[in-house]
Structure 1
Amino acid sequence: MILMVACVGILGAFLAFDTIPAQARKVYGQPSAGLGLFDRAWYGAQLLLNQSKLLVPVGEGAQQPFIIQSGESVNSVAYRLEENGLVRDAGAFRLYMIYAGMDQTMRAGIYTLNPGMIPMDIAGIIQNPTSQEVTFVILPGWRVEEIANLLPTSGLSVTPDEFLALIRNPAGLSLPEGLEPGANLEGFLAPGEYQLRRDISVENLVQTFLDRFSSELTPDMLAGFERQGLNLPEAVTLASIVEKEGVVDDERPMIASVFYNRMQAGMNLDSDPTVQYALGYNAAQQTWWTNPLSLDDLKTDSPFNTYVYNGLPPHPICNPGLTALQAVAYPAQSPYYYFRARCDGTGTHAFAKTYEEHVQNACP
């Protein structure tokens, strides 16, 4: 009798070590190669008892950033996920991570998660931060085509064509106050570094750039534009010229003063970057900013060419940085009407009151 009971027990144990792992594999996939026979059965049994905590999302909710620190333990991560309402049960989540071997492979990084995700899927997501977000950088002075050219290698799913189409016809977007509906968005995409989801839509991408632009415009800056007699589109257009003309930030208020002085005197702005913008892409130089410009280039018939047409161009020629916008809001007070690059390679400029002085400032 005792022998029979022992045999039944051994048979039951054998079946448990055989059937439970098999059932767990069907639901949770292959276990970690580091688990022994007993551990596979034990973890498999626990996971099968906790299916509702691992296969059903917590519920609806907004996306939120979740940061895993370097060297953080699976216990800490599981606890914080439950605390943030992203998984139902930290213990069950930890069991699955160990069962799948993911406790050894999760990586530090910034993730975008929401309560509508299945906990098992969250476990997979936190294995690779690059699957969620990418860093995207817009440099001050880039025109929209230069931003578009970066998209194919950025890791974002947005294509250059759909990006440029939305820039030129921004239907459905929330525009900066003072910008007319349907206006070209050149100039209003704030330079800087962005952390973006790889699957971001073109609408959300452009809206992100616009929102940062709006957030950087202070009431004092807007009042400064108004004091200079400019509305927002005009101020950004002038700032885009100041951005391309200036190299040293400290000089930009002085450069802005030159353009204000010329406009007040009824003079053309005579800005080389506006000609470069009008010319467009230079295939031979492989750049959007032709340099040097020829005398024929300066005669290009385009409303953006400020050598030919008086006043500001129809819209900005690039996306200016904050220092250029501030220079337009708070220009220097100067008697100058001309400036040209110095010959010392510093990127600074020599300023002049008269054309004769301007000619004398030319490099030998």
Structure 2
Amino acid sequence: MNGTAVRAVLIALVLGCMLVTCTAGGGLYLWARQEGLNPVKAIQLRLSLARSDEALNTPAGSDPTTRRFTVNSGDSASTIAANLLADGLISDSGLFVDYVVYHRLDDELEAGTFFLQQTQTIPQIARALTDAASATIPFRTLEGWRLEEIAQVIDSNPLLDFSGADFLAVVGPGGTIPADFKARVGIPDTLSNGRSPSLEGFLYPGTYQLKPGITPEELRDEMLAEFDAHVTSEFYDDAAEGLTMYQVVTLASIVQKEAVDLDEAPVIASVYLNRFRLPMRLDADPTVQYALGNTRDASTWWPSITQADYYGLDGLPNQSYSTYLNEDLPPGPIAAPGLPAIRAVVQPAETQYYYFRRGCEDDNRHVFFTLDQQADHANFTCD
């Protein structure tokens, strides 16, 4: 092969290599391209993320506990990454920075308070940190809880900035009740036992998403707003024979504690309404439990009771709530009823029942009795 031919072959090889290189480089650029990033930087970051794909999508740990995390104004992506690493929320700060820079999230990371979990991946945490407004504190209360039980849940939630005692000071006896709400539901200025009213029974049970930094007053207002949202005007219109909503909720709180199976709630409500109208004492066991509270057993606010407890509450602060010792309704609600219990009072079953006992089957159902069956009720056994 002469010199001219050799040069031609070499030129062809060089051009071929250049073509392959350009083609491969162009494909690599297209694969890694990210608007706003230098092409070389984009390729570097994309290669880094591809090599670390498993680590990127593996949470830092298995603890599902929600943790408070704060981003301060002016914090850079590197600072945020270092703080996340220190809090055990990520396991690789450099990988976090690479991710947010490549996906152009570094300028979208917001200052604020966030609630994160160790079980979240880097992409999930990065996206969460771009929206401070969506950060919320999960909070849940259940039907049939009294104020002290809500306070206990507050004390068990490290994300709240106040204690259960702080909340009780706002919603308990002597706390400030919003005037419009007080007038609407008919809360009296002074209870029948001479004590100041509280919001027992009116803090609507449910699941809430609270904003960071919420105050006890704001939590009170959110729960009252939920009560108003669910207990609509039809409930006021249907309230039986002139009962105020305060009386409805008071009776519904008893029904809530008695009706384990809520399909029985309208019948149980009819029993208490029949006794109330006669009138005769309600003789409701939950009111005795409320009066006892945790004085017997510090681990529960709803202790088991015996017949000896019906008339053995002397000296207890809440003995006036016992419907075995006192005529009429108790001074106020004993717990927070759910909507089915409230509806059962305003739309009760039409019955001639005045008594009920728990049945013999292990299913929480009840057996009901008329006035003529009083002796059957008194002598009822499962033997």
TM-score category, normalised to shorter length: 0.5 to 0.7
Q: Residue 260 of structure 1: CA displacement? A: 0.9
Match of 2:345 in 1: 328
Q: Residue 171 of structure 1: CA displacement? A: 2.2
Conserved? CA contact 1:148–1:163, under 8 Å? yes
Which whole-Å CA distance do the structure 2 matches of 1:265 and 1:334 have between them?
A: 14
Match of 1:107 in 2: 124
Match of 2:223 in 1: 209
Conserved? CA contact 1:275–1:298, under 8 Å? no
Q: 1:327 to 1:99 in 2, by over 3 A?
A: closer
Match of 2:193 in 1: none
Q: Which of residues 277, 288, 294 is equivalent to 1:264?
A: 277
Q: 1:296 to 1:360 in 2, by over 3 A?
A: closer
Match of 1:240 in 2: 253
Q: 1:322 to 1:93 in 2, by over 3 A?
A: farther
Establish whether residue 97 from structure 1 lines up as the match of residue 106 from structure 2: yes
Which whole-Å CA distance do the structure 1 matches of 2:126 and 2:249 have between them?
A: 36
Q: How many residues align?
A: 266
Establish whether residue 308 from structure 1 lines up as the match of residue 325 from structure 2: yes
Q: Which of residues 199, 218, 221 is equivalent to 1:185?
A: 199
Which whole-Å CA distance do the structure 1 matches of 2:332 and 2:278 have between them?
A: 22
Q: Which moved more, 1:185-194 or 1:290-299?
A: 290-299
- SS of match in other structure, 2:138: strand
Question: What CA deviation, in whole Å up to 9, does each residue of 1:300-323 have, x standing for no partner?
Answer: 242101001010011100000000
Q: 1:124 to 1:133 in 2, by over 3 A?
A: closer
Question: What CA deviation, in whole Å up to 9, does each residue of 1:15-69 have, x standing for no partner?
Answer: xxxxxxxxxxxxxxxxxxxx99x749xx9xxxxxxxxxx97xxxxxxxxxxxxxx
Match of 1:343 in 2: 360
Q: 1:322 to 1:161 in 2, by over 3 A?
A: same
Q: Residue 286 of structure 1: CA displacement? A: 1.4
Q: Which of residues 220, 241, 265 is equivalent to 2:234?
A: 220
- SS of match in other structure, 2:229: helix
Establish whether residue 151 from structure 1 lines up as the match of residue 154 from structure 2: yes
Conserved? CA contact 1:299–1:308, under 8 Å? no
Q: Residue 297 of structure 1: CA displacement? A: 4.4
Q: Which moved more, 1:227-236 or 1:179-188?
A: 179-188
Which whole-Å CA distance do the structure 2 matches of 1:110 and 1:171 have between them?
A: 40
Establish whether residue 363 from structure 1 lines up as the match of residue 382 from structure 2: yes
Q: Which moved more, 1:323-332 or 1:168-177?
A: 168-177
Q: State the structure with more CA Rg.
A: 2
- SS of match in other structure, 2:209: strand
Q: Which runs of 4+ in 1 moved over 3 A?
A: 92-96, 108-111, 122-126, 179-183, 282-285, 296-299
Which whole-Å CA distance do the structure 2 matches of 1:108 and 1:363 have between them?
A: 58
Conserved? CA contact 1:189–1:213, under 8 Å? yes
Give the superposed CA RMSD: 3.4
Q: Residue 220 of structure 1: CA displacement? A: 1.7
Q: Which of residues 164, 167, 176 is equivalent to 1:171?
A: 176
Which amino acid in 2 is paired with 1:219? S
**What is the TM-score of this pair, normalised by structure 1?**
0.65
Structure 2 residue runs of 5 or longer lacking an equivalent are 1-36, 46-72, 75-100, 110-120, 190-195
Match of 2:67 in 1: none
Q: 1:295 to 1:109 in 2, by over 3 A?
A: farther
Identity %: 35
Which whole-Å CA distance do the structure 1 matches of 2:274 and 2:206 have between them?
A: 31
- SS of match in other structure, 1:312: coil
Which whole-Å CA distance do the structure 2 matches of 1:95 and 1:277 have between them?
A: 57
- SS of match in other structure, 1:298: coil
Structure 1 residue runs of 5 or longer lacking an equivalent are 1-34, 44-53, 56-91, 112-121
**What is the TM-score of this pair, normalised by structure 2?**
0.62
Q: 1:195 to 1:220 in 2, by over 3 A?
A: same
